[in-house]
Structure 1
Amino acid sequence: MEKENFISAIFSSFVSSVKERPLVRRSRTLYRYYRRVWLYSRARAWLVSFFRSLWQVLFRFNALNSLFAAIAFLLGASGLTDAAESVRYLMQEDDGKGGVGVNRFVLVRYVLKELFLYFFIAFLFFFMVFFVNQILLVAENILKKRVPVMDVVRLITYSLPMVIAQSAPFATLVGFLMCLGRLATDNEILILRASGQSYRLVLVPVLILGIVISVASFFVNDYLLPLGTLKYNRLYRSILTSNPAVELESNSVKRTNDKTLVIGQVDGESVSDLIFFDTGSDGKQRIIVADSSVVKKSSEPGVLMKLQMNNSSVLFLDRNDKRTYDFMVSDDMELNIFESSLGNMTKRTTPREMTSFDLYKRIKEMKHDEGVTRKQMNQHKLEFSKKFSMPFGSVFFAMLALPLALLFGKHNGQTIGLIIGLLISVFYWSVSIVGQIFSSKSGVYGVATMWAPDILIGFVGLAFYIRLLRK
């Protein structure tokens, strides 16, 4: 007890000594003076009055009705009659006695808030899934090659726009399904219908938020993704230049246009059971087999790495005369791997590193270039379509989520919405990947393969919405 009294006495004396200091007294005096000046100033009174009036105008529903009426008039004058009717429908109802009836702004704002909350949670889920996958693909293979940790962190950072662009559409579907399923299960949709509201009242905030998500996702996909990909490839090239063994993975195959490298076991800079397929300038096929090889850096320009092969054999095959061949055995041989032989080492700007505007100009230039192959043209068109189809898939997913949740989410809507959303996401992702691979390999029109999943989702969503209206 005496100890506590002693400590409190010391603390009180310290506080009193601080208060008695001239600088503290002066600061407190100035604070009181300027506070009094501000409280009784005309500027404060004017600002308070202005913001109070602004608050009342923004949240005065009659004023909002006038604003929406003006928007509806402009849409009608422009010939957009359907859009004008939708805007008029959102305006505040009259109860027929000069008073205010059902306020649709409150309902729309409530649905928007719920949709955004569930979208944000679903976005975090998909972001973590794709982000962890990116860490496993990039960090695991590079860290074990003794690459600096900061370079790995930068690689992962540059890949974040791709993760965000992939997460947004699927988060829209799953989040909207869970939110609308919860509203249906709690009979909130039934209450809206009983009060005389149609499904359009729920459809409007669904489409509004879907369009906003699509526009934001398009910005990420069209600006941040090319920028991140460009910086990612530059950093990866510098890592390969300093440590060429990063590109070599155990028991893997590296393919380029006319070269194939089959890699055995990789242990540091040592590679075993190496097989190299190549086609020479004379048209002869060359096959090089080595028991063991050592990866070395090269100071020559354009050469990525040197493979010092031990106990190697070389077989030359003539395609025109299959009965003849040349065979050579060597104890030591050196093979140069050029930067141009690896696709990710090219210094030319790839379609993935371009914005939609730059890619569109590039496609127009390629149409007048006779040296451009059909496969190259199709690859550029595929990437151009991908910049729009992936982000604007959120709108099609939003159109699908509303009827699905209201038709099948009357009981356990959140759980059913989560399951259905994940199944559709896996299906959409699989169809998109298969379409890209099929279009790249076969040369099929890339625009059709990229937009086909979105069109299918939109058609199914429209069919279910018509069924919902007829129910």
Structure 2
Amino acid sequence: MRLLTRYILKQFFYLFFISIAAFAGTFLIAELFESLRILLNNKVPFHISSQYLLCLIPGILVQTAPVAVLLGVIFCLNQLNRYRELTIMKASGLSIYRIVSPLLVASIIISICIFLVNELVVPVATPKASHLRLYGIEKRQIPYIYSHISFNEGNRFFYIRTYNALEKSMKEIQIIERRPDKSRTICTRIDAPSGVWKEYKPREVEWKLYNPVIRKFSPSGEMEEMKEMKEKRIFLQYSPDDFKEMKKPEEMSFSAFLHYIKSLKESGNYNINLTVDLYQKLSFPFASFFISIAGIPFALRSKRSGIATGFGMSIVISFVYWIVMSLSLAWGKELLVPPYLAAFLPNIVCLILGIYMLQRTPT
């Protein structure tokens, strides 16, 4: 690594880590003060409150990384401009593209790291933080009884009146199977007063129904056969846990979210908004790279500006990015644009703007 690259990266990472630490500290202090009354009134132990705050950090890092990268890039280039180092580099024959290339490489490495954190750490930390908030800090009672769960798998419709998540037991189960042809008439109906389930491996779940009554129907709808059994076992891809409550996108990895959407499609509970959120899980971690591309030309054009100017520039660019992102996501959820375009549009806008401005920057 050349001396110049080390020098630029040293300044960038110094400013980046200061920025992201400041953001994380501000968010945590704000959350602490907001929860202070509840913590004192409920006499929450220190280890629970500290665990709660620690579990918030991965999500905060993912959300604030793009702004921290932008601040690092703009402050770094402003500092080079301020002390005429940028002018000296140009005079020595270095192009602007060579000077900013270490910043772009650093930003894409940070984006990959943020993606991994969002995939591996956030899906574990965020649900734990929510659990600690609700049941460790606010002292709410943990629910384990759920009612009226329904979903589809293939040609079969499942309904469970009462589900005990602790015991993995079900009551008043109804399974209706329809013919795969165009008529979609009922061919089999199973009613069981109770049952349990067990998962052997992912997407291989055994349901054990007790004292089921099985009815078979003709294409015309007449009952042809009724049979009572002591026990019946069926194997499915899903369990009641998959449908007992709606899951939040931020609490799942991309692969888990994709599987969740597939299960909702099969159950008839699919919403197009979830596909927008799915693509958003891919696009947002790389916002750090694209937003830095948009910020570099503006930083190069500012002549020896101070900290306040650099900070203001970062806020304006970040604000514009968030506006474009909010609008594009809203358009995607209103079906005005395809879901993938809604998620990636802010990054595309930053890329086009950055390249356009960079080409018009004196090299």
What's the TM-score, normalizing by structure 1?
0.50
| Contact 1:178–1:415 (Cα < 8 Å) also in 2 | no
What is the match of residue 378 of structure 1?
273
Say if 2:299 is the partner of 1:405. yes
- The alpha-carbon distance between structure 1 residues 121 and 241, as it changes in their structure 2 partners (threshold 3 A), is closer
Structure 1 equivalent of residue 315 of structure 2: 422
Kindly indicate whether the alpha-carbon contact (under 8 Å) linking 1:177 and 1:414 is maintained by their aligned counterparts in 2.
no
* 2:64 is aligned with 1:161: no
CA distance in 1, matches of 2:24, 2:268: 41
Whether the 8 Å contact between 1:385 and 1:450 is mirrored in structure 2 is yes
Q: Matched residues in 2 for 1:357 and 1:394: separation?
A: 22
CA distance in 2, matches of 1:217, 1:359: 18
* Cα contact 1:184–1:413 (8 A) shared by 2: no
Partners of 1:389 and 1:454 within 8 A in 2: yes
Alignment equivalent of 1:450, drawn from 300, 319, 343: 343
CA apart distance, 1:401 = 2.5
Matched, 1:188 2:85: yes
Change (3 A) 1:141 1:430: farther
In the TM superposition, what is the alpha-carbon distance from 1:147 to its structure 2 partner?
5.3
Give the structure 1 partner of residue 285 of structure 2.
391
Match of 2:253 in 1: 355
Where relative contact order (Cα < 8 A, 6+ residues apart) is larger, the structure is 2
Q: Kindly provide the amino acid, as one letter, of the partner of residue 378 in structure 1.
A: N
- 2:74 is aligned to 177
For residues 182 and 416 of structure 1, the distance between their equivalents in structure 2, rounded to whole angstroms, comes to 12
CA contact (8 A) 1:123 1:167 kept: yes
Please say if residues 179 and 414 of structure 1, whose CA atoms lie closer than 8 Å, have aligned partners that are also in contact: no
Q: Aligned residue for 1:461?
A: 354
State the 1:217 CA deviation. 1.1
1:231 corresponding residue in structure 2: 128
1:273-331 Cα deviation digits (max 9, x unpaired): xxxxxxxxxxxxxxxxxxxxxxxxxxxx79xxxxxxxxxxxxxxxxxxxxxxxxxxxxx
The 1-side partners of 2:49 and 2:342 are apart by 34
Counting only pairs closer than 5 Å after superposition, residues 28-427 of structure 1 correspond to structure 2 as 105-137=2-34, 139-140=35-36, 142-143=38-39, 145-146=41-42, 148-149=44-45, 150-239=47-136, 242-243=139-140, 349-367=247-265, 369=266, 371-373=268-270, 375=271, 377-379=272-274, 381-408=275-302, 410-427=303-320
- Deviation, 1:415, is 3.2
Name the residue aligned to 2:178.
none
Shift of 1:226: 0.8
- TM-superposed CA distance for 1:240, in Å, is 8.4
Structure 2 counterpart of 1:199, one-letter code: I
Q: Distance in 2 between matches of 1:115 and 1:158?
A: 27
Cα deviation for residue 201 of structure 1 reads 1.4
Partner SS state of residue 319, structure 2? helix
Displacement of 1:206 in angstroms is 1.2
Distance in 2 between the 1:219 and 1:206 partners? 20
Name the amino acid aligned to 2:38. I
- What is the Cα deviation at residue 423 of structure 1? 2.0
Q: How far apart are residue 366 of structure 1 and its match?
A: 4.5
Higher CA-based Rg: 1
Q: Aligned with 2:361: secondary structure?
A: helix
Does structure 1 conserve the Cα–Cα contact (< 8 Å) formed by 2:115 and 2:286? yes
Looking at structure 2, the residues matched to 201 and 431 of structure 1 have their Cα atoms a distance apart, in angstroms, of 30
Percent identical? 27
Map Cα deviations across residues 369-397 of structure 1 (whole Å, 9 max, x no partner): 26133x2x422x23322222222111112
Distance in 2, matches of 1:365 and 1:189, equals 55
Report the RMSD for the aligned CA atoms in angstroms.
3.0
Stretch moving more, 393-402 or 424-433:
424-433
CA pair 403-223 structure 1, distance change in 2 beyond 3 A: same
Give the count of matched residue pairs. 263
Residues 382 and 446, structure 1, Cα contact 8 Å, conserved in 2: yes
More strand by share: 2
Q: Do the aligned residues in 1 keep the contact of 2:287 with 2:347 (CA within 8 Å)?
A: yes
> Does the 8 Å contact 1:393/1:454 carry over to 2?
yes
Amino acid of the structure 2 residue aligned with 1:425: S
Inter-partner Cα distance in structure 2 for 1:162 and 1:155: 12
Give the distance between the partners of 2:284 and 2:44, measured in 1 at CA.
34
- Give the whole-Å Cα distance in 1 for the aligned partners of 2:354 and 2:138: 50
Q: What CA deviation, in whole Å up to 9, does each residue of 1:3-24 have, x standing for no partner?
A: xxxxxxxxxxxxxxxxxxxxxx
1:443 Cα shift?
5.7
Task: Write out per-residue CA displacement over residues 28-77 of structure 1, whole angstroms, 9 at most, x where no aligned residue.
Answer: xxxxxxxxxxxxxxxxxxxxxxxxxxxxxxxxxxxx8xxxxxxxxxxxxx
Measured against aligned partners, the alpha-carbon deviations of 1:201-254 in whole angstroms (never above 9, x if no partner) come to 11210111111111111111111111112212333453489446xxxxxxxxxx
Q: CA 1:403/1:146 → structure 2, altered by over 3 Å: closer, same or farther?
A: same
1:112 touches 1:206 (CA, 8 Å); kept in 2? yes
Q: Contact 1:108–1:201 (CA<8 Å) still a contact in 2?
A: no
Q: CA deviation at 1:172?
A: 0.5
Question: Does the 8 Å CA contact 1:405/1:413 hold for their aligned counterparts?
Answer: no
> C-alpha separation between the residues in 1 aligned to 2:137 and 2:294?
45
How far apart, CA to CA, are the structure 2 residues paired with 1:162 and 1:419?
A: 25
**In 2, Cα distance between equivalents of 1:411 and 1:351:** 43
Q: Distance in 1 between matches of 2:317 and 2:299?
A: 13
Letter of the structure 2 residue corresponding to residue 148 of structure 1: V
